[in-house]
């Protein structure tokens, strides 16, 4: 019963409320509340701060969430080895990835992985904004840029250029910028990352980094949409070559300002801070890393 209550607690944290966890598991609100209270009584601590509108983890609750993922994952692995054989992978893997990269590289690799491991299920969340990997219960998160949370486990997958580019049709109408300063005269398609607007593009030059403040008539928090706008000829974008490299090679987009390339941007795979990972998570992580390295 203790393991079941820990699993329920993890589901509450992932879903963000007791009622949502109950609906997913087919439990009444009263049952969920009673089992959470029993878990808190077992440990003698408060695990969640609860109001009528929201829940938040206490420090003890966060410790339990971090440990629960490891323990529950190992139990699932053990059950799979006993019931299905030592070589069978089974269970749920929750993955977070940037919107554009997730729709292309990550989704394609997950398709191949599931075809080889039919007892696996995968839940994917695509987002270009901040994700609380532990609080939202993700096993793997793929992210561009430097990791600011030192508690997370990190697997580097190299560094990639950010590329200024636009569709041939746009360039036919507006011409191509010759220097970073010329971008101020162009319609630039801008990403929003949460509260942060990515409208200062940091390019390079012989004299050092060269920031340029850009603007345009379209802003989105979805990198796939911004890329689609660029392909349709609406403006100039500043995207990772992982997102637009295939478009440039096919001639759908044209690289601009190649002589002003900025420093490469790291891409990393992030994991919760447990000491061990279920075999299914390690297997999918290896596949995703190999797919990105091969690009």
Q: Where are the domains of the chain?
A: 1-85, 89-157+264-295, 162-263
DSSP 181: G
The answer to whether domain 1-85 and domain 89-157+264-295 are alike in fold is no
Evaluate whether 174 touches 235 at the Cβ level (below 8 Å).
Answer: no
What length does the chain have?
Answer: 295
Give the integer Cα–Cα distance in Å for 233 and 230: 5
Q: Write out pLDDT tens, residues 1-48.
A: 788 888 888 888 888 888 888 888 888 888 888 898 888 888 898 888
Report the pLDDT value the prediction gives residue 80, as an integer from 0 to 100: 66
Options 3.90.870.10, 1.25.40.10, 1.10.10.10, 2.40.10.120; CATH of 1-85: 1.10.10.10
3-class SS of residue 8: helix
Query: Is residue 234 classed as helix, strand or coil in its secondary structure?
Result: coil
Task: Give me the sheet containing 219-220, strands edge to edge.
Answer: 196-197, 190-193, 219-220
| CA-derived radius of gyration, the chain | 23
pLDDT grade for 207, boundaries at 50, 70 and 90: confident
Q: Please tell me the number of Cα atoms within 13 Å of 70 on its side-chain side.
A: 10
CA distance 260 to 209: 9
Q: What is the pLDDT of residues 124-137, one digit of tens each?
A: 999 888 788 877 88
- Specify whether the CB–CB gap between 55 and 65 falls below 8 A: no
Lowest mean pLDDT among 55-59, 145-149, 173-177: 145-149
pTM of the model: 0.66
pLDDT band at 204 (very low <50, low <70, confident <90, very high): confident
Class assignment of domain 89-157+264-295? Answer: alpha beta
Which tens digit of pLDDT belongs to each residue from 231-262?
A: 999 999 999 988 899 999 999 999 999 999 88
Residue with tokens 């601590």: 45
- Cβ neighbors of 172 (< 8 A, separation 6 or more) are none
Confidence of residue 65 (pLDDT cuts 50, 70, 90): confident
CATH architecture of 162-263: 3-Layer(aba) Sandwich (3.40)
- Whether pLDDT at 175 is above 90: yes
């Amino acid at each position: 019963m203790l393991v079941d209550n820990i699993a329920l607690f993890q589901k509450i944290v992932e879903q963000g409320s007791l009622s949502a966890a109950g609906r997913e598991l087919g439990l009444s609100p009263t049952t969920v509340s009673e089992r959470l209270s029993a878990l808190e009584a077992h440990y003698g601590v408060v695990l969640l701060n609860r109001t009528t509108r929201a829940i938040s983890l206490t420090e003890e609750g966060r410790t339990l969430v971090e440990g629960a993922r490891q323990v529950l994952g190992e139990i699932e692995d053990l059950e799979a080895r006993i019931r299905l054989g030592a070589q069978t992978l089974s269970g749920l893997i929750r993955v977070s990835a940037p919107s554009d990269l997730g729709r292309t590289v990550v989704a394609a690799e997950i398709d191949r992985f599931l075809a080889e491991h039919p007892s696996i299920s995968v839940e994917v969340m695509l987002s270009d904004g901040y994700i609380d990997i532990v609080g939202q219960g993700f096993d793997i998160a793929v992210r561009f840029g430097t990791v600011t949370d030192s508690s997370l486990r990190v697997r580097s997958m190299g560094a990639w250029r950010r590329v200024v580019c636009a569709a041939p049709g746009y360039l036919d109408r507006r011409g191509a910028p010759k220097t970073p300063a010329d971008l101020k005269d162009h319609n630039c398609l801008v990403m929003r990352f949460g509260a942060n607007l990515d409208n200062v593009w940091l390019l390079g030059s012989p004299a050092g980094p060269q920031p340029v403040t850009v603007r345009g008539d379209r802003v989105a928090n979805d990198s796939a949409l911004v890329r689609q706008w660029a392909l349709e000829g609406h403006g100039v974008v500043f995207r990772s070559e992982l997102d637009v490299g295939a478009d440039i090679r096919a001639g759908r987009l044209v690289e601009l300002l190649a002589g002003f390339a900025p420093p490469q941007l790291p891409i990393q795979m992030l994991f919760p801070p447990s000491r061990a990972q279920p075999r299914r998570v390690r297997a999918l992580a290896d596949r995703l890393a190999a797919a990105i390295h091969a690009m």
